[in-house]
Structure 1
């Protein structure tokens, strides 16, 4: 190949390389630059995120219900009595109804993940009581893990509580299993509530198979809260957990001679008491009655 031909080939190769470089530069210039500090699109959560906005009210109350498998009776009572409970709280000495901001939580449900402690806010603090009624109508029992302290901690941290110490703020938690289960300790949950001047009212559900160890945990919770432990029977059975269901009243039987028998001497019927079953237990309070008693005690502390 002659020298002029080689020189021409080199010039063509250089020209092609220049064209390729120019094409790459033009393509890069046409590509849109990423926005600075662009936030990644958040993943969609299975549990909808609620907007917890402040609500002006005379009393703020969060009702946390155990909705595990054995709590059908409690859910039914809450449905039937929630408006009665609100009406009781609205009463005032001046005759002017108080404004009640009410929130509703469920815990112990298998419809919420373990990462959320099987606990969910159904309605944030609101004065729209029909929204609470609608949420209660949709509730179904189901679940086995009840993390009561976690539920309290969740309500303390995510609700829009009034910062004024003059506004009563109460968390009412109702359940029947151990009060020490879950990732949050009982003492820690109550300390978090105390920091925001929130009172906690524990209400223990007494069923036919009430656990003494669970009762002990709820008593400790009431002690930490500085209240008496309120109890209800979600199924309205006549029962008393720590007292005999009936009292045994001795009734003296009259002396009677034994029937005439050959070869046996006559002697009086032995004096021995006959025990007659006399009912002494009273029906256990329902949710409305227990909350009325408990809230009265709590509100008097403000």
Structure 2
């Protein structure tokens, strides 16, 4: 046998011997006992990364004159609702959209705020809405529901939780000839895997029947609250301190990039400061808690935030072109830039640690406050109704939200 034929035969024989060694009969009953072969540490099989889950929710809110309590509750509660959802583990992508509706002849029929994970932007636009208009009892509910289902950028993945919360006190106009009627929108929602939940303000019987019908069409939930939205607002002794720390954290955000990038980022920071200056301390505390969460942190800092970019290795700042650096860093040497980043990161981490301490104290205070209230009051609250619906529905998408509703 020549040498060229001999080498392949050795390989075949070795492979057969290895297979026999791994599957050799060891028992008297003829069963096979696999032999464990240790895997070297550097070739250990890595477990697949879990894909980040996504939650998309559009709130379709009646913004006519009778809805002062609802709009007020939305302004008070949007951060705490987002904070409740952020308790999912692993942290999901949370996108919220808004649709305000009135009726024909009012200042607007519908006004939309696109789905976004940038809650500062969502909140800023929410603050510009007040309750006005209306008159006759029916409203443009049909148009609102249809646009909520069809005019937003809904994710197509069947693993994404998608829901609309329709909130109002009046039934739809069924006499508008150019409307897409709500049963059609219900069918479209089912096709798009969007759950329709309804919350009725007050006790209009005509609206009650239709609200229940809309919720039932996609296995959503129906709830009824009073005209003040059964709101629970807990003010704690720690809110002001948390708000102050939050303001200081806002000021630590430093961005790099093109002139346009830095302009957009500067406006992001300015928007956050405007929000906090115009908000109550408990709302500012809710915002701070959400922005500190795994779900909120990425959107809060956004893209090209220099400190988070350099967190794992301050030497990364050396890779940024001088013209893309913040103005205060352009005149620094390489050594000075690294020292500056380290100092600012230490400041941010110190503030974050202090924030977490006061957030825990705030949560302990709220837990005690809620225990002193009746169970019926807490269970029927606006925040809890929304949270419980989402918590139960996201289970079907393997998104598990732990804990209770945030306040």
Decide which structure has the larger Cα Rg and report it: 1
Correspondence 1:99 to 2:194: no
Deviation, structure 1 residue 281: 11
Q: Which of 381, 388, 407 is the equivalent residue of 1:286?
A: 381
- Cα distance in 1 for partners of 2:155, 2:181 equals 25
Which aligned pairs between 1:103-182 and structure 2 lie closer than 5 A? 103-108=97-102, 110-112=106-108, 118-121=109-112, 123-144=113-134, 146-179=139-172, 181=174, 182=176
- Cα distance in 2 for partners of 1:236, 1:194 equals 28
Q: Any idea what SS the aligned residue of 1:139 has? A: coil
- Contact kept? 1:82, 1:133, Cα under 8 Å: yes
Q: Which of 69, 78, 82 is the equivalent residue of 1:73?
A: 69
Aligned to 1:19: none
Aligned to 2:351: none
- Cα distance in 1 for partners of 2:157, 2:229 equals 38
Describe the superposition over 1:245-288 as per-residue Cα deviations: whole angstroms up to 9, x where unpaired: xxxxxxxxxxxxxxxxxxxxxxxxxxxxxxxxxxx995483321
- Contact kept? 1:203, 1:229, Cα under 8 Å: yes
Describe the superposition over 1:105-129 as per-residue Cα deviations: whole angstroms up to 9, x where unpaired: 10115221xxxxx1110x2011110
Correspondence 1:232 to 2:225: yes
- Cα distance in 1 for partners of 2:216, 2:200 equals 13
- Cα distance in 1 for partners of 2:389, 2:383 equals 10
Deviation, structure 1 residue 227: 2.8
- Contact kept? 2:230, 2:381, Cα under 8 Å: no
Deviation, structure 1 residue 220: 1.5
- Cα distance in 2 for partners of 1:285, 1:185 equals 30
Deviation, structure 1 residue 164: 0.8
Describe the superposition over 1:41-60 as per-residue Cα deviations: whole angstroms up to 9, x where unpaired: xxxxxxxxxxxxxxx97111
Aligned to 1:217: 210
More strand by share: 1
Q: Which of 135, 158, 181 is the equivalent residue of 1:185?
A: 181
- Greater RCO, CA 8 A, separation 6+: 2
Q: Any idea what SS the aligned residue of 2:92 has? A: coil
Q: TM-score, normalised by structure 2?
A: 0.45
- Tell me, which stretches of 5 or more residues in structure 1 are unaligned? 1-55, 113-117, 239-279
- Cα distance in 1 for partners of 2:212, 2:168 equals 12
Deviation, structure 1 residue 143: 2.3
Q: TM-score, normalised by structure 1?
A: 0.59
- Cα distance in 1 for partners of 2:80, 2:381 equals 12
More helix by share: 2
Describe the superposition over 1:39-90 as per-residue Cα deviations: whole angstroms up to 9, x where unpaired: xxxxxxxxxxxxxxxxx97111111111011000000000001000011112
Moved more, 79-88 or 190-199: 190-199
- Cα distance in 2 for partners of 1:164, 1:236 equals 33
Deviation, structure 1 residue 137: 1.2
Q: Any idea what SS the aligned residue of 2:389 has? A: helix
- Contact kept? 1:231, 1:290, Cα under 8 Å: no
- Cα distance in 2 for partners of 1:81, 1:195 equals 30
- Contact kept? 1:66, 1:108, Cα under 8 Å: yes
Correspondence 1:195 to 2:191: yes
- Tell me, which stretches of 5 or more residues in structure 2 are unaligned? 1-51, 232-373, 398-407
Which aligned pairs between 1:53-64 and structure 2 lie closer than 5 A? 58-64=54-60
- Contact kept? 2:190, 2:218, Cα under 8 Å: no
Which aligned pairs between 1:265-276 and structure 2 lie closer than 5 A? none
